[in-house]
Amino acid sequence: MARERIRQPSLPEVLSEVLGDFADLFRKELRLARAELSSNISAKLRGGVWLGLAGIFGLLTLGLFLGALVARITTFDVSLHIAFLVVAAGVALLAAFAYFAGRNEIQAELTPSRTISQLKQDIETTKEQLT
């Protein structure tokens, strides 16, 4: 029985193969991330369309309720134009409240200060470990 000698790959061949496998894995991960992102974006888009429809129907419902409120106010011997003015004033008060609440929320700082602080700390720790 003749023994066949098993060829051992050299270090450059092994490194080349490992780097090739790593590059292939990286490409596959990118493809997977792209497919997942595409799926997530289309799901978000569908959700946005449904929320838009809900908003439109909500505005229509609000209009009908306000019309019913005007009709109810006119049953108290109040003229139609006064009833509309009363309802409009109530809606204007709600709109002003929503505006000021939203304005206060929008003025919040967008800078991710905790993340920046953590990154600075990580850089300092890395510098200390390297020296």
Q: What is the 3-state secondary structure (H, E, C) of the chain?
A: CCCCCCCCCCHHHHHHHHHHHHHHHHHHHHHHHHHHHHHHHHHHHHHHHHHHHHHHHHHHHHHHHHHHHHHHHHCCCCCHHHHHHHHHHHHHHHHHHHHHHHHHHHCCCCCCHHHHHHHHHHHHHHHHHHC
In a domain, 10, yes or no: no
Q: Is 64 within the bounds of a domain?
A: yes
Confidence check: pLDDT of 73 > 80:
yes
112 falls within a domain: yes
- Residue 81 pLDDT > 70: yes
pTM of the entire predicted model: 0.55
Residue 125 reports pLDDT greater than 90? no
Q: Between 64 and 118, name the one with better pLDDT.
A: 64
Contact predicate 109/92, CB 8 Å:
no
- Domain count of the fold of the chain: 1
Does 93 reside within a domain?
yes
Please check whether residue 84 is in contact with residue 70, taking contact to mean a CB–CB distance below 8 angstroms.
Answer: yes
Q: Is the pLDDT of residue 96 over 60?
A: yes
Please indicate, yes or no, if residue 4 is contained in any of the structural domains.
no
Question: Is 113's pLDDT higher than 60?
Answer: yes
In-domain check, residue 39: yes
In a domain? residue 9:
no
Please name the residues in contact with 87: beta carbons below 8 A apart, sequence gap of 6 or more.
66, 69, 70, 73
Q: Residue 99 is part of which domain span?
A: 15-130
94 occurs within a structural domain: yes
- What is the model's pLDDT at position 116? 83
